[in-house]
């Protein structure tokens, strides 16, 4: 089978397709034939070792794990002994490292759920929505609270706008001019075009400022955070010192956006998709063979929603 791999840190060109041995499901595992996966900002960061500190976890001189990708949607090809929740032929989606491949094994108890009828493989890709659910849960978001989502047109941003509204929050979404209408269609209460207005200077305050692209800092946003409020950034390390400082001092807190994928969240997303209460946004779709080009595009930081890698029709 094919898998996207890399043997050294670097630009998108370090990625390549390689023929590797097809995995076999162990007890309690499901073998999924992947139909759609993604190229994400996380994938690009791990591939390039953009932040050197991550090498202490991923490999100091070269990557410990050669595989790429974190989310998948496909069809159950085989099941290991003891699996009861999934059967061969069923459509599934979820999170698993090494998902940029023709096949991947996922634990039955892991972050895996059924794709609802009427939802396509590309529409079931879950990283943005699961990241949003995880971080909003960790923030303790409650109905009626005021939330500002900066970077509201990205994968996590488009999901956070919808999830925060689903949880009953008053949502202000911030994006650039070309994405205003798209973001407005997701249902926020207010949309701010950051090319026309700086939300940090409009005098409004929010219980949660959610920086979905890591472009801002707690210092710049703190006047927009209500007393007792929270700032969460999903990318970058320039808020580490603020997270440490505000954990002890001050009424306004900063927190790094550390995502914890959970079974309960993927099952909640399955229900939302089935009810038509969540709409994934897809920017572009590439063939798996074009993963280098997909990574180049993601690194422009101009993507809107997901950048999909399609495996339909490719060699097996």
Give the DSSP H or E segment for 127.
helix 127-138
Which range has the worst mean pLDDT, 85-94, 200-209, 225-234, 248-257?
248-257
- Strands annotated E in 115-184: 146-150, 170-175
> What pLDDT does residue 314 have?
44
Contacts 24+ apart (CB under 8 A), 60-65: 62/7, 62/8, 62/9, 63/6, 63/7, 63/8, 63/9, 65/97, 65/98
pLDDT tens string 2-17 = 999 999 999 999 999 9
Mean pLDDT, to the nearest integer, of 24-37? 98
Strand partners, 79: 30
> Across residues 252-258, what is the average pLDDT?
87
Distance CA 65, CA 69 (A): 11
Task: Grade residue 178 by pLDDT with cuts at 50, 70 and 90.
Answer: very high
> Can you give the pLDDT at residue 51?
67
* pLDDT score at 81: 97
Cα separation, 279 vs 29, whole angstroms: 29
227-to-224, 251, 253 alpha-carbon distances in Å: 10, 6, 9
Largest CA distance in the chain: 59
Q: Are 216 and 233 in contact (CB under 8 A)?
A: yes
129, pLDDT greater than 80: yes
Whether 129-256 and 2-125+280-310 are alike in CATH topology: the answer is no
Q: What is the spatial distance between Cα 194 and Cα 12, in angstroms, rounded to a whole number?
A: 30
pLDDT at 54: 72
For residue 204, the model assigns a pLDDT of: 96
Question: Is 90 exceeded by the pLDDT of residue 59?
Answer: no
Position 256 pLDDT exceeds 60: yes
Burial class (CB in 10 A: 0-12, 13-18, 19+), 249: exposed
- Of residues 241, 238, 252, 308, the one with CA closest to residue 280: 308
Q: Token match 């041995």: residue?
A: 21
Domain positions in the chain are 2-125+280-310, 129-256
Give tens-digit pLDDT for 201-243. 999 999 999 999 887 888 889 999 999 999 998 876 677 776 7
Closest CA to 307 of 289, 282, 290: 282
- Reference 37, options 255, 302, 294; nearest CA is 294
Assign 315 a pLDDT band (cuts: 50, 70, 90): very low
Give me the pLDDT at residue 237, please. 67
Predicted pLDDT of residue 53: 67
pLDDT at 258: 87
Mean pLDDT in residue range 247-265: 89
At 56 the pLDDT is 67
DSSP bridge pairs for 71: 95
Mean pLDDT, the chain, integer: 93
pLDDT of residue 211: 95
Give the count of beta carbons closer than 10 Å to the beta carbon of residue 107. Answer: 17
204 vs 194: CA distance, rounded Å: 15
Residue 82 has pLDDT above 80, yes or no: yes
CATH, range 2-125+280-310: 3.90.180.10
Q: 10 Å Cβ neighbour count for 264?
A: 10
Looking at residue 269, what is its pLDDT? 97
* CATH fit for domain 129-256, picks 3.40.50.410, 3.40.50.720, 3.30.70.20, 3.40.50.12280: 3.40.50.720
Q: For the whole prediction, is pTM greater than 0.95?
A: no
d(CA 97, CA 95): 7
- What distance in Å separates the CA atoms of residue 54 and residue 6, rounded to the nearest whole number? 16
């Amino acid at each position: 089978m094919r898998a996207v791999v890399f043997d050294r840190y670097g630009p998108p060109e370090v990625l390549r397709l390689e023929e590797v041995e097809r995995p076999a499901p162990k007890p309690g595992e499901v073998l999924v034939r992947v139909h759609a996966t993604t190229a994400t900002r996380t994938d690009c960061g791990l591939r390039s070792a953009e932040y050197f500190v991550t090498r202490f976890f991923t490999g100091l001189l070269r990557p410990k794990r050669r595989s790429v990708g974190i989310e998948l949607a496909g069809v159950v090809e085989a099941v290991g002994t003891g699996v009861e929740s999934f059967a061969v032929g069923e459509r599934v989606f979820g999170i698993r490292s090494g998902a940029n491949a023709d096949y991947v094994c996922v634990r039955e108890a892991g972050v895996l759920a059924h794709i609802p009828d009427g939802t396509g493989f590309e529409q079931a890709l879950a990283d943005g929505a699961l990241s949003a659910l995880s971080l909003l849960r960790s923030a303790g978001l409650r109905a009626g609270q005021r939330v500002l989502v900066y970077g509201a047109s990205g994968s996590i941003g488009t999901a956070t706008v919808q999830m925060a509204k689903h949880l009953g929050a008053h949502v202000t979404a911030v994006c650039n001019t070309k994405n205003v209408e798209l973001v407005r269609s997701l249902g926020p209460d207010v949309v701010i075009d950051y090319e026309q207005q700086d939300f940090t200077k409009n005098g409004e305050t929010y219980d949660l400022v959610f920086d979905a692209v890591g472009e801002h800092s707690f210092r710049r946003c703190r006047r927009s955070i209500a007393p007792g409020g929270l700032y969460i950034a999903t990318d970058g390390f320039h808020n580490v010192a603020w997270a440490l400082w505000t954990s002890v001092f001050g009424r306004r807190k900063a927190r790094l956006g550390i995502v914890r994928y959970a079974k309960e969240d993927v099952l909640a997303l399955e229900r939302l998709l089935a009810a038509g209460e969540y709409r994934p946004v897809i920017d572009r779709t590439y063939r798996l063979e074009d993963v280098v080009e997909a990574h180049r595009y993601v690194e422009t930081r101009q993507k809107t929603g997901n950048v999909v890698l399609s495996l339909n029709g490719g060699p097996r």
